[in-house]
Amino acid sequence: MPQSSDVQYPPLPLVQTWVWMMTESNSPEIQQKGQNNLISSFGSLAKANEYLVKQQAK
C-alpha cells in the first residue's frame, strides 16, 4: 500500500503534452488548459518542472 508521501503523478508523455500546450500552442485557450492541467496535477508549475527535471535525469 503506498504511503501518503508517495504521490502519483500523470504519465510523463501526458505532462509533456501539457507543457507543449502551454508553451507552443498559438491558442490562448489551449495554453490556459495546459497550464491548468499542470497546476491541478502538481499544485504549481514549479513542482511540475521539478518532476520533469527528475524524469529527464533517469
- Quick one: which of 56, 46, 52, 50 has its CA closest to 17? 52
4-28: pLDDT as tens digits: 456 789 999 999 999 999 999 999 9
> Position 2: which residue type?
P
Query: Is a pLDDT exceeding 60 seen at residue 1?
Result: no
Report which of residues 55 and 4 the model is more confident about: 55
The per-residue pLDDT for 7 is 76
Q: Has residue 3 got a pLDDT over 50? A: no
Annotated domain spans of the chain: 12-57
This prediction's pTM: 0.84
Are 21 and 30 spatial neighbours (Cβ–Cβ below 8 Å)? yes
In the chain, how many H helices and how many E strands?
3, 0
The pLDDT score that the predictor gives to residue 58 is 84
